[in-house]
Amino acid sequence: MVQKFKKYACVVAMSLVSGIVSVHADDAKSKKPLKIYILSGQSNMQGKARVRTIERLKMTEDSRSLYNDIMGKEGKPVTVKDTYAVYYTTSRGGNVFKGPLNPGYGEDYEADRTNFGPEYTFGIYMQKHLKEPFLIIKTAWGGKDLVRQFRPPSAGELPMMQSKIEKYKATGTLDAERAKHKDGTGEYYRMMMGHVKDVLKDPEQYHPAYDKGAGYEIAGFVWFQGWNDLVNGFYKESGAPMETMYTPYTGLMASFIRDVRKDLDAPVMPFVIGVLGVGGPTDASDKMHWFRQAQAAAAEMPEFKGNVRAVLTENSWDMLLKGIHNKLQAAAAEKVKTDHPEVARKPRAAQNLRSKYYKELMPTVLTPEELKLKQAGESNAGYHYNGSAYIYGNIGKAFAEAMIELNGN
């Protein structure tokens, strides 16, 4: 090292004497590999937040800084500097959507492209930290599970559920259904990986700052999925108690991480698991609690120490909006019980009436402030994170913070 430094010093000194040293900014700044982050999952990764729900962020102190980071000086959501995205999902016609990162890479595609998911604030806060160009590749499809559709190759063959075998035997379609089952196993894993590799063949198509000489660096992967495994009969059919029913998901998650790293030739690629957070925090009486435990457990495995992190997205839930929702639900249930005691004992009919009264009671049960927050703060169903900028915005920020820590490791 000393010898190399002496050689360098000697060359510089001779050049100074001869007057031929010319330092240019481009020469002094060596080109960096383009950082690439991959985001994948199901509808919760697609994102259902409409731009209009950003207004809710102004209504409480805990979200005003998020509002300021999202909204530009002209009162419109910012286009994130030096940050580009490419999004592929068959539910949007199978087209590839690409360009500078702004709202428009979410689901329920409209002509004005105003929906977004966690990728938007993930990009905002990664850019605040990195201060350099990077690319987000997003692949997400609604209603897909890990046990079958995203099943990683190393997890092996998935046996068909016994209940389905009996059903198809009775209709004489067992052989045909077995073939479909086999073809569909891992289908979305293959689609995800195929799209990512297509982008990696020529990143210049997706980010103008890409330099072929410097190449690219796969800097991290974010996985945000879970609802369809939570409700999948595969886990229930095992007969295991609620506390251990979802244990197989932990093994699948570990296999998924290993396989993705292997397929991308990135053996210690930072990996963030977005743990299902619908409804906010819960307790051990709810099966979702145990599913979340199974999701997060993979990050605690010794082989993943320091390079995998689980993010509890329940902590990003809009608890103020949840309180308003609970208040309305209680009022609707009480009205059904009082006005229609004969219906209260019929679950489906009672549910239909509660839904009707839920909407009708809003103006009388809620304060003007509560009504305003509810109208501004949601644009979709609860299982789609209320289509809320508050929830998706905080989730994306949490993903970025976890990724920044892992990149540091």
What per-residue confidence (pLDDT) applies to 112? 55
Residues 191-210, mean pLDDT to the nearest whole number = 96
What per-residue confidence (pLDDT) applies to 276? 98
CB 57 within 8 A of CB 67: yes
Model confidence at 21, pLDDT cuts 50, 70, 90, reads: very low
Residues 159-176, mean pLDDT to the nearest whole number = 84
Hey, what are 24's tokens?
């240019």
Whether 361 shows a pLDDT value over 70: the answer reads: yes
Residues 311-329, mean pLDDT to the nearest whole number = 97
β 96-100/83-88 pair status: antiparallel
Model confidence at 88, pLDDT cuts 50, 70, 90, reads: confident
Hey, what are 326's tokens?
């609970």
% pLDDT > 90, the chain: 73
Q: 3-state SS of 363-402?
A: HHHCCHHHHHHHHHHCCCCHHHHHHCHHHHHHHHHHHHHH
CB 224 within 8 A of CB 295: no
Query: What backbone phi and psi angles, to 5 degrees, belong to 300?
Result: -90, -5
For the ranges 25-29, 105-109, 284-288, which has the lowest average pLDDT? Answer: 25-29
Whether 20 shows a pLDDT value over 70: the answer reads: no
Q: Which helix (H) or strand (E) holds 268?
A: none
| Position 124, amino acid | I
What per-residue confidence (pLDDT) applies to 346? 84
